[in-house]
Amino acid sequence: MSHSPGERPSSAILTLPNALSAARIALIPLFVWLIIHHGTELTGLALFSVVVATDWVDGAIARRTGTVTALGAVLDPTADRLAIGAGLIALVARGAFPLWAALLILVRDGLILLVGAGLLLVGRVRLEVRFLGKVATFGLMMAVPMVAWGSFGFAFAPSALALGWTIFSVAIVESYAAAALYVGDVRRVLAGRRRPG
């Protein structure tokens, strides 16, 4: 959940955006079970798509209603990464998404999450989400369900696979380009903290 540099997150816990983030986390075991269980793949894939596609909702509500919180700043991206990671693992387990492609996403997300959490805990600094990162994440959230849809052999499977892999190819390059930009952001933050005053 991003906020403007001058905006101070509140310490509130019981807010609608935080409840939505928590609900998305609570739905993870359900869509994982549905994807892994034979005969309910379509329902599981649909639920997974809804959970990851609505990652912007809680953040947007928080900004519009002025309920940006410190908890939400951690809970929102955590919900996103947990949902994507769990979905990828379930799809790989079912053979609906290749392991190499899943690792490209998971390794990048894991590194970003660790760096972001480290900065937040050690220096109470939170990096602003870059637009390129948002675009890349949106692309991957479209591509993964499309590839899985085609791999499961649902309607229009060849078209879903072709479109899914095209979007994936572009989005994964964008995601690593955004990661490189975040590395530069971290360096600037750390350099600024080392300067006197």
pLDDT tens per residue, range 4-15:
444 555 556 667
Burial of 6 (0-12, 13-18, 19+ CB in 10 A): exposed
- Reading the block at residue 176, the tokens are 């690593």
Q: What is the SS3 assignment for 10?
A: strand
Instruction: Indicate if the pLDDT at residue 70 is higher than 70.
Output: no
141 pLDDT above the threshold of 70: yes
Q: Which two tokens stand for residue 79?
A: 């919900």
Backbone phi and psi for residue 153, each to the nearest 5 degrees, phi listed first: 80, 25
User: 10 phi and psi, to 5 degrees?
Assistant: -85, 170
- The model's pLDDT over 9-33, given as tens digits with 9 standing for 90+, comes to 555 666 777 788 888 899 999 999 9
How far apart CA 93 and CA 58 sit, in angstroms, is 30
Sequence ranges of the domains in the chain: 16-194
- Nearest Cα neighbor of 84 from 118, 119, 61, 108 is 108
Q: What's the predicted TM-score (pTM) here?
A: 0.81
pLDDT class of 53 with cuts at 50, 70, 90 = confident
If you average pLDDT over residues 172-192, what whole number do you get?
82
Residue 54 φ then ψ, to 5°: -100, 20
190 pLDDT higher than 50: yes
Confidence of residue 1 (pLDDT cuts 50, 70, 90): very low
Contact, 120 vs 92, CB < 8 A?
no
Q: Is 1.20.120.1760 the CATH number for 16-194?
A: yes
Among the listed ranges 97-111, 142-156, 172-186, which one has the minimum average pLDDT value? Answer: 172-186
